[in-house]
Amino acid sequence: MDYFAGIDVGALSTDAVILTAGSEVAAYSIVETGANSTDAAEEALAGVLAEAEIVRSQIKRIVATGYGRVSVPFADKRVTEISCHALGAYHLFPDTGTVIDIGGQDSKVIQVGEGGKVLNFTMNDKCAAGTGRFLEVMANKLQVALDEMGELSLRAGREVPISSVCTVFAESEVVSLVAQNHPTEEIIRGLHRSIVNRVWNMVKAVGVNGGVAMTGGVAKNRGVVALMEEKLGQSVHLHEEPQVVGALGAALLAWRASQSAG
């Protein structure tokens, strides 16, 4: 049986997805990107092959995406994460009109059309505000685990407003808030609000049409998702591992290419 793979080499994590010839997800894997994108891609591929219990030669085509897409020597094609997230989200949730992808190094809002086509998109400018990196820095400063932040913020009764959008300045702001004995949960909720407000500008620029899917690592944070839903006035589509949506889109492109090639 033929299989198709997509690999998304992001700033923080590298994700791989394997599809069957019927475009069903056979397996996925997530590893940390670390310092070497090529090694991370190899590792993610090895992991997903083991998970799917198949061997490399059974993969007919591989598409790489993400910032490290150029560092995947074994990829047959390289496609931007914008096209891949749009297609991946559309495949999972066919009524998707808008994708909000908040990744480790950047965030983007994509307007998706028929067949998962990109109609419009916008990305954050050269600044880590409104990205996963922002939360990572803050989790570190507050000495909480990154994946606990969502739960903690949902428990907060109030929120402490964070005025600075700059990651470096917000970090100093957090230091002084801690010194003023503000509860950690309230600070975290303020930080989540700051991300959502930042991304909201991009949502407004692109517009909301139909269903909204959230993808990327930050979509795992229930606190951020809840604030975004509040802002949108509607619930969002989430995959159980929102990080892998880009890799899924890449795998779908690999599968589609083989279909059109006959």
Partner 1 sequence: MTFFKELRFNFMKDLGGPALMSISRKGRKRRHRAPNPHFGPALKSATRLKEIMTRHYFLSRYTEGAKPVAWVTSGAPVELLRAFDFYTIYPENHGALCGAKKLGPELCAVAEEHGYHRDLCSYARIDLGHYFSGKSPAGRLPKPDLLFASNNICQTVVYWYRALAHYWDIPLILFDTPYNFEEINDSDVSYMVQQFEEMIPVLEQVSGQPFKYRNFQEVVRIARDTSLAWGEVLATMKARPAPMSIFDAFVHLAPIVSLRGLPVALEYYQTLLKELKERVDRGTGALKDERKRLMWDNIAIWYKVRDLADLFAEQGMNFVTATYTNAWTETIRYLDDQRPMESMARVYSLVILNNNLNHRLKLMERLINEFEVDGLVIHSARSCKPYSVGQYDMKRLLMERLGVLSVIIEADITDFRVYSEEQTRTRLEAFFEAIDA
Query: Which residues contact partner 1 (rule: CB under 8 A)?
Result: 67, 79-83, 106, 117-123, 125-126, 205-207
Distance in Å, CB of 33 to partner 1, minimum: 15
Distance in Å, CB of 11 to partner 1, minimum: 11
Distance in Å, CB of 231 to partner 1, minimum: 18
Distance in Å, CB of 19 to partner 1, minimum: 20
Q: Which is nearer to partner 1, 120 or 258 (CB)?
A: 120
Distance in Å, CB of 80 to partner 1, minimum: 4
Q: Which is nearer to partner 1, 7 or 187 (CB)?
A: 7
* 237: Cα within 13 Å, side-chain hemisphere: 20
Q: Considering only CA atoms, which of 1, 258, 233, 225 is closest in space to residue 101? A: 225
Q: Which is nearer to partner 1, 83 or 194 (CB)?
A: 83
Straight-line distance from the first to the last Cα atom of the chain, in angstroms, rounded to the nearest whole number? 16
Rounded CA gap, 239 and 83, in Å?
Answer: 18
CB 177 within 8 A of CB 187: yes
Q: Please, is 95 exposed, middle or buried when counting C-beta atoms within 10 Å of its C-beta (0-12, 13-18, 19+)? A: exposed
Q: Which is nearer to partner 1, 69 or 220 (CB)?
A: 69
Q: Which is nearer to partner 1, 51 or 76 (CB)?
A: 76
